[in-house]
Structure 1
Amino acid sequence: MKFLIAILGLLVVFALSFVASNNKRGIRYRPILIMIVLQLILAFFLLNTVVGTVLIQGFSDIFTNLLTYASEGINFVFGGIANEGQAPFFLNVLLPIIFISALIGILQYIKVLPLIIRFIGLVLSKINGMGKLESYNAVASAILGQSEVFISVKKQIGLLPKHRLYTLCASAMSTVSMSIVGAYMTMIDPKYVVTALVLNLFGGFIIASILNPYKVTPEEDKLEVQEEQEKQSFFEMLGEYIMDGFKVAITVAAMLIGFVALIAMINGIFSGIFGISFQQLLGYVFAPFAFVMGVPWKEAVDAGSIMATKMVSNEFVAMLDLGKHALSPRATGIVSIFLVSFANFSSIGIIAGAVKGLHEKQGNVVARFGLKLLYGATLVSVLSATIAGVFL
C-alpha cells in the first residue's frame, strides 16, 4: 500500500510542478529520471542498510562532540544561569551555532570547503544536466547558508538571466545551512536530518528542471567564485565568523519568540471564534499532502498542521511543534524530513535581500518570483519526504 501511495505522491508533485512550468516543452526527462533513481537508492542506503546507519551515526557523533565542545564555552559564560536539571533552548540549541560557524570559517580559510564544494558541484553538473554554477551553488548553499552563498558568486549575479537566477535561489531555499544542522539534530532524529540534506540536493534540481527548464550553452557554463578582495588574517576571519554565528543564533531566537507568540495569539482568536485553532485549520488544508507523502490518514491532520506551521513561520517552530505530537514512527520520520529546509515565507525576504545587497536590479527580480520560489522549494520538501516514506 505504501508503494502505491508513494507513486501517487510522486505524481502529485510532478503534476503540480508541470502545471506551473514556464516551458513545458523544454523539460528534459532523462536527467530527472536519473536523479529520482539516485534519490531512491540514497534513501534506501541511508535508511535501510547497516553501512548507511553507521555513516549517519558517525555524522551524528561528530555533531554531538561539536555540541559538547560548544557547551564548554557556553557554560563558561552562562554557567549557573539556568535552574538545575533544565535545558534552555537558547543555550543548548542556538548558541552552539557560534562554535560551528567558527569551524566553517576555519575550513573556508584553509581552502578545504571550497575544494569539496567545487568537486561535488562538478560531479552534480554531470548528473543534473545543468550548469556548473547551478551545481556549485546547490552544494555551497548547504554549507554556507542561503544568504551567504550569493557572496561567493557575486561577480556573476548581475550577468545571470532570470531563469538561471531562479535556480540559484531555489537551491538556497531548498536546503539548510551546515551551521544549524547540529541544532536540528537536538530536536529531531539525526538520520532524518542527514537523509533530508542528501535528498533535497537532488530534489532541488528535479523540481527546478520541471518548473524552470533550460539549457546552458558551453559559453554560459562558466564558474567564477569570488575570493576575498583583501586577504584577512586568521584571527580577523575567526572573529567575523564567530560574530556571524552569534547573529544567526540571535536572529533565530528573535524569530522564534515572535512566531511562537503570534501563532499562540492567532490560535486563541480562532479557538474563541470558531472553536478550532488556526493550526488545526491549516492541518486540514495540508492533510492531503501529508497523506500522499505517506503519513497514515488518521495522523494526516496533525502532520499537516506541523507542515503548515513550518511554511508560515520556520522549521524551528515546526520542529518544536512536532515534539508536542505523539505521531507514529513512520509519520514522525516523513514529517521530520519535510521540515529540514528553508522553505517558508520569511526566506523569500532573506534571499531577495541578500541578492539585492549585491545587485539591486536582480534583487527586485528575485522578489517578483518569490512566491514561485517558495512553491518550488515546498515541492522539493514534499518530494524528499515522499521518497523517504518508501523506506520508513
Structure 2
Amino acid sequence: MFRPENAQSLVGLALTLLVCWLLSENRRAFPWRLTLGAVAVQVGLVLLLFGTPGAQTVVSGVNDAVDGLAAATARGTQFVFGYMGGGDQPYQVTNAGALFVFAFQVLPLILVISALSALLWHWKILKWITQGFGLLFQRTMGLGGASALAVAVNIFLGMIESPIVIRAYLDKLTRSELFLMIVVGLATVAGSTMVAYATILKAVLPNAAAHVLVASIVSAPAGVLLARIVVPEKPGQGGYYADYGSLLKYDSAIDAISKGTMDGLTVVLNISAILIVFVAFVAIGNSLLSIFPPVLGQPVTIERILGAVFSPLAWTLGIDWKEAHEAGYLLGVKLMLTEFIAFIQLGAVPEGAMSERTRMIMTYALCGFANIGSVGITVSGMGVLMPDRRTEIIGMVWKALVAGFLATCMTASIVGAMPRELFGY
C-alpha cells in the first residue's frame, strides 16, 4: 500500500539527483536513460530479495549464514581471549551487558570474513559472482568492462581492492571512469565489514544481515548514476574490456587465507585506531562546546548540532519528523566520523525509541564508506597505484565524497518509497 511516507522518500531521490546535477561538470549531458536504468536495477534487486516467492527463505539463509560465521568466529575468539571473548566466566556475573566487548566480539569477524573472501576468490567462487554482477552492470548501465568489473569488485572486496583488480587498465581509464570508481568505492562497503555491521544490528533490526548485504549491492548502481551525472562520460570514450580470468591471484588456498588474514588485520587495526581517536575527539569537542549556554534547555553538543544540520535530509528519506533529529545525527556521524561509529550508535538506540522502518532506512543510508576519513584512504591508496594521476584524484575526491554520501541516501530513498509490507513492517 502506497502511503504519504513513500512519496516523502521520493523527495529524497529527487534531491540527490538535483544536488549532483548542480555539481555536474556538464549539466547539459544529464544521463536520462542511465537514471531510469539505475533506478530500475535498484528496485529490481530489492524486489528480488524481499518480494519474490521464496524470498524469505533466501533472507533466512543470509541471516543464518551470518549467525554461523559469528558463532564460528566466537569459537576462535574464545580460544585466544578466554572469558573476555565470551567464554565461560571465572566469576559470578552481575551485569551481563558488560560481557559484550566490542574489540573481542565484533572486530574478529572482519579477520574471518577477510580470509574467507580471499579463499573464495582463490577458489573462483567469488570471482564468478563478481563476474555476474559485472555483466549485469555492463548490460543494464552501459559500463565498459573494466569499470563494470571494478564496480562489482567494490561490492565484495572494497574501495582499495577494486583498482588492484583492474590495475592493468588504470592508465586507460577516462576521467569519468576514474571518478566513477572512486564514487562507487565510497558508496559501498567491503564484505569483511558487512558481517560486523549485521552483528551490531541483529538485536534491534529483523533480517539485519539481508538488509546490510542488499544495501551495499544496491548502492553500487546509485554510485554509478551519480558519478555519471557529476562527471559525464564523453561520447566515444571508455568501454575497455577487462579480462576476468587473469586478475587478483593467490598461489594456494593457504596463501589466500594467510594474505586475507593479514589484510583483515590491517582493517581491524585501522578501525580500532579510528574508533579510539574519533570517539575521543567527540568527547573533546563536547567539552569545548560546554562553554556555551544551553539551548532549549539542553547543552550544546556535537550530536545536537549534527542532528539539526542533517535532520531535513533525514526527513526527505521518508523518516518521520519526530525521529528525523536522531536520524540526522547518525547521518552526520557517518559523514564526519565513520559509518562504523554510526552503526554502533544505531544499534545502541533502544528498541522502542526508533521505529523498525526508520532503523531499516538508516541501515541503507549508513552503509557506505563515504566519510572524511575515507578521503585520505582513497588518495593514499589510489595515489600509490596511479602516481601520475594523484593530482587529478585529489582534485575530484571531495566531489566524489558528496556523490558517494548521496548514493547511500538515494538507496535509502528507493527503499523508503517501497511499501513497508514488502519488508514485513
TMscore range, shorter length: over 0.9
**The one of 297, 308, 313 aligned to 1:289:** 313
Distance verdict in 2 for CA 1:72–1:355, change over 3 Å? same
**The one of 123, 138, 158 aligned to 1:145:** 158
**The one of 197, 202, 209 aligned to 2:216:** 197
1:380 corresponds in structure 2 to 407
Deviation at 1:163, TM superposition (A): 1.7
Matches of 2:366 and 2:117 in 1, distance apart?
A: 23
Matches of 1:88 and 1:236 in 2, distance apart?
A: 31
Equivalent residue runs for 1:116-127 within 5 Å: 116-127=129-140
**The one of 360, 367, 371 aligned to 2:394:** 367
Question: Is the aligned partner of 1:94 residue 2:107?
Answer: yes
Matches of 1:13 and 1:219 in 2, distance apart?
A: 25
Report which stretch shifted further, 33-42 or 150-159.
Answer: 33-42
Deviations 1:117-138 (A, max 9, x none): 1232012111012212111111
Deviation at 1:47, TM superposition (A): 4.2
SS at match of 1:121: helix
Matches of 1:310 and 1:3 in 2, distance apart?
A: 24
Question: Is the aligned partner of 1:338 residue 2:365?
Answer: yes
Matches of 1:70 and 1:293 in 2, distance apart?
A: 35
Question: Is the aligned partner of 1:52 residue 2:76?
Answer: no
Residue 45 of structure 1 contacts residue 51 of structure 1 at CA under 8 Å; is this kept in 2? no
Q: What is the aligned-residue RMSD (CA, Å)?
A: 2.1
One-letter amino acid of the counterpart of residue 329, structure 1: E
One-letter amino acid of the counterpart of residue 281, structure 1: I
Deviations 1:147-174 (A, max 9, x none): 1221111122223232211011111111
Residue 169 of structure 1 contacts residue 373 of structure 1 at CA under 8 Å; is this kept in 2? yes
Distance verdict in 2 for CA 1:2–1:360, change over 3 Å? same
**The one of 367, 374, 384 aligned to 1:357:** 384
Alignment length (residue pairs):
392
Deviation at 1:291, TM superposition (A): 0.4
Distance verdict in 2 for CA 1:217–1:107, change over 3 Å? farther
Deviation at 1:371, TM superposition (A): 0.8
2:204 corresponds in structure 1 to none
SS at match of 1:323: helix
Equivalent residue runs for 1:55-134 within 5 Å: 55-81=58-84, 84=89, 85=96, 86-134=99-147
Matches of 1:360 and 1:378 in 2, distance apart?
A: 26
**The one of 266, 271, 274 aligned to 1:247:** 266
Deviation at 1:209, TM superposition (A): 2.5
Gaps of 5+ in 2: 90-95, 202-207, 294-298, 421-425
2:25 corresponds in structure 1 to 22
Question: Is the aligned partner of 1:221 residue 2:240?
Answer: yes
Report which stretch shifted further, 122-131 or 271-280.
Answer: 271-280
Q: With structure 1 as the length reference, what TM-score do the two structures score? A: 0.94
Matches of 1:31 and 1:163 in 2, distance apart?
A: 14
SS at match of 2:172: coil
Distance verdict in 2 for CA 1:34–1:367, change over 3 Å? same
Deviations 1:3-50 (A, max 9, x none): 321222222111111111112222221121122133234334444566
